[in-house]
Amino acid sequence: MTNGPLRSLGKSGFGLIFALVADISATVAVLNTPAIIALLRAHAELAVYVVAVMLGGLLVVLDLLFRKSAEVRSLKSEIASATTRDREAFKGALAEFSFDAGSIEFIKNGFLVTSWRRGEYLELKSAERKWREVIFDDPEVNGEFRRFLARLGDLIDWMARFGEPNPLDDHVNDDSERFRIIFSMSSEERDRAVGAGEYLAQEIIEIRRSFEKVGRQNGL
């Protein structure tokens, strides 16, 4: 994955070395023929010219190899830095969206779909907003994380659309205030809304597991 550019640079570097060796071998083979040896002996200035051309070509190839080596070192440094960033972000995301506490634990174990508290909704909304701008350098990990946040956002929107304060609850306008599915909906509308909420909650848990699995497989 992130080592692809390094492999590409390595292949091009080896290609230059191979080309250099092949050119030198071919040139030496040509110069070693009796006719060329006789020609060079008769024309010393031509021999000097041939040697100069060979040295010039050698210097060009060596310069290219030096530049490729510098590119490899630079890219290795960038990859090491990216891996460090990804590892820190991955660790933070697993802590934020832990199965043992917080918003994901609530979705996994405490989300009844038909009832929730204001504080639980606000915690989900805050976590999604906080991590929205985080981008992983690893495209596969980032793809799973974006998918996870998208579904989390869908559930937040669902709660805002289909929830209303429970009039029987005494905790008004604080985090303990309990919400419920909109009571005025028909039974069919209510069933569809509950089914959609249950599906989103289940999918969030599955994608959260997939995100962690892909991250660990990719060395984070």
- Mean pLDDT within 70-91: 69
Q: Is 71:6 a contact under the CB 8 Å cutoff? A: no
For residue range 174-189, list pLDDT tens digits in order: 778 888 888 889 999 9
Distance CA 165, CA 183 (A): 10
For residue range 24-70, list pLDDT tens digits in order: 666 666 556 776 667 666 766 666 666 666 667 667 777 776 676 66
Does pTM surpass 0.85? no
Mean pLDDT, the chain, as a whole number? Answer: 80
pLDDT above 80: residue 7: no
- Phi-psi group of 134: left, alpha or beta (phi > 0 → left; psi -120 to 50 → alpha; rest → beta): beta
Question: Residues in the chain, how many?
Answer: 220
pLDDT band at 112 (very low <50, low <70, confident <90, very high): confident
Distance CA 220, CA 216 (A): 5
